[in-house]
Amino acid sequence: MSAPIRVRFAPSPTGYLHIGGARTALFNWLYARHHGGTFMLRIEDTDRERSTPESVRAILDGLRWLGLDWDEGPEIGGAHGPYFQTERIALYRETVEGLRAKGRAYRCTCTREEIDARRKLIGPAYRYEGTCKDDRDPGDKPFVYRFRLPESGRVEFADRVVGKIGKMVSDLYDEVLCRADYVPLYNFGCVVDDHHMGITLVGRGQEHINSTFPQLLLYEALGWQPPEFAHFPLILGPDREKLSKRLHPEADVMLHKKNGMLPEALLNYVVRLGWSHGNDEVISRAQMIEWFDFDRVGSTSGVWDPTKLAWLNQKWIEAGDDKRLAELSLTFFQDRNVPVSANDPKVVRAMALLKGRAKSLSELADQGLFFFTRGLPSMDAAAEAKFLTSAAKPLLADARKLIADHGLADPHALEEKFRALATERGLGLGKVAQPVRVAVTGTTASPPLFDTMALIGQDEVLARLDAVLARIA
């Protein structure tokens, strides 16, 4: 237990970073950060058909957006590289030949077609039967390297989150280690690299529990000390199926960025899916690092709940720094054809008024458009019909006069003037404020009216009121 902790996240670059992967990365990252260990990134790009450099970039971008920085890996290197499996072929070759010399690996010339035919015949219970286990010279036939299982026995390990798990060797089969060109398959590459990279604990999703058994047998055959394992509960979609790219669009981490989620909110939501710390719900990155460990990770799958994510996002937007929020909101305003610039103090001031009432940055932008447009805002038809009536016209005219006379610089003072006006007429403040709000913002819901008008500016507010007055018969 005195060895320094080294963990890794090892995605295959076959698409964007998905939520399940992000949480696996997060749990590993938190474990490393909590214990002062090393978090490394390894790219498992051995599926030559599906791996792409674009996917590598997408995954790195996703991790960076979430703030999950790696101590060793692509782009920064480290003492245990290279960090792309396709650059480590010599190692796999040396290892598989060593295994073959010990009689623990053999060359198999069965073709995919042959195996598929047998599988089709026997059904889902089919296991490769070891046809080629005498390791004959393949001649010029294509072949792969297979692992020779022990005759019998049982594999067991104590998982850090699930507990004791075991399986009979008779339920396993001689699986493919690597192809003839030594490009490894998952279980082989994973074991070889985890060992040579000094990984002390493998943290991954529970879908990998079953691959742990052959991996353990490999460690044994190689004479290597296996790492610890921690298998995290799965994240399920609304349909209770494992969250997947195919079935669930929300599995895409960057989709949430596009939807206006803050990375700290997504991290907060995802860390609570399977891990808890008492009754704490809103948890900062620093607190996660302080509190996280595998003893608090549960073992039951969790269902993705966009509603709770939205709630957390609102909390984190509300807690956000105005300047940073302004920068992050920029793109959302621009998408709505409102050209604003991040260093515009008006944008920063708008954040103070807008945050806390929006569940996402995109909602925030929708709710704040009227701050940055000129002239009559786009009107909510129902609001207009209800509040911008001929009966309200005199009230609006009086309100306009108050604003023209007193200005907007002192919202509290102006509010008192409005209140007096309302009282004079035997009305509540709301009766005056609502028509003005609709006239100025186009809707019935906005930040506090007097602060809102102050930010819009006197000339613009008066212009909007005049335009409305002119529209009312």
Partner RNA sequence: GGCCCCAUCGUCUAGCGGUUAGGACGGCAGCCUCUCACGCUGCAGACAGGAGUUCAAUUCUCCUUGGGGUCACCA
Residue numbers annotated as active site: 245
Shortest reach from residue 341's CB to RNA, in Å? 26
163-168 and 154-159 as β-strands: parallel, antiparallel, unpaired?
antiparallel
Q: CA separation (Å) from 262 to 61, 66, 256, 265, 268?
A: 15, 9, 8, 5, 10
Q: How far apart are CA 170 and CA 371, in angstroms?
A: 69
Cβ at position 393, least distance to RNA in Å: 19
CB closer to RNA out of 207 and 341: 207
- Spatial neighbors of 7 by CB under 8 A, at least 6 apart, are 28, 31, 32, 37, 38, 39, 40, 199, 200, 201, 202, 203
Smaller CB distance to RNA: residue 178 or 328?
178
Contact predicate 161/299, CB 8 Å: yes
- 320 is written with which tokens? 């956000």
Structure tokens at 406: 């007193």
Nearer to RNA, 347 or 453 (CB): 453
Quick one: which of 61, 81, 63 has its CA closest to 72?
81
Phi, psi of 167 (to 5 degrees): -155, 145
The two tokens of residue 223 are 């004479």
> How many whole angstroms separate alpha carbon 226 and alpha carbon 343?
53
Compute the least distance from the CB of residue 105 to RNA, in Å.
Answer: 13
Q: Which H or E run includes 167?
A: strand 163-168
Residue 10 vs 217, nearer CB to RNA: 10
What is the smallest separation between the CB atom of 307 and RNA, expressed in angstroms?
Answer: 4
Task: Supply 163's token pair.
Answer: 């507990």
Max distance between CA atoms of the chain, in angstroms, equals: 103
Compute the least distance from the CB of residue 110 to RNA, in Å. 6
**Cis peptide bond prior to 184, omega within 30° of 0:** no
Comparison of 108 and 347: residue with beta carbon closer to RNA: 108
Q: Considering beta carbons, is residue 62 or 342 the nearer one to RNA?
A: 62
Q: How far is the CB of 79 from RNA (least distance, A)?
A: 22
Closest CB to RNA among residues 28, 314? 314
| C-alpha to C-alpha distance for 371 and 454, rounded to whole angstroms | 10
Residue 369 near residue 447, CB atoms below 8 Å: no
Q: How far is the CB of 306 from RNA (least distance, A)?
A: 9
CB 360 within 8 Å of CB 310: yes
- Which C-beta is closer to RNA: that of 240 or that of 337? 240
Number of H-type helices and E-type strands within the chain: 19, 11
Q: Min. distance of Cβ 14 from RNA in angstroms?
A: 6
Measured distance CA(424)–CA(401) in Å, rounded? 15
* Angle, CA of 231, 237 and 242, to the nearest 5°: 40
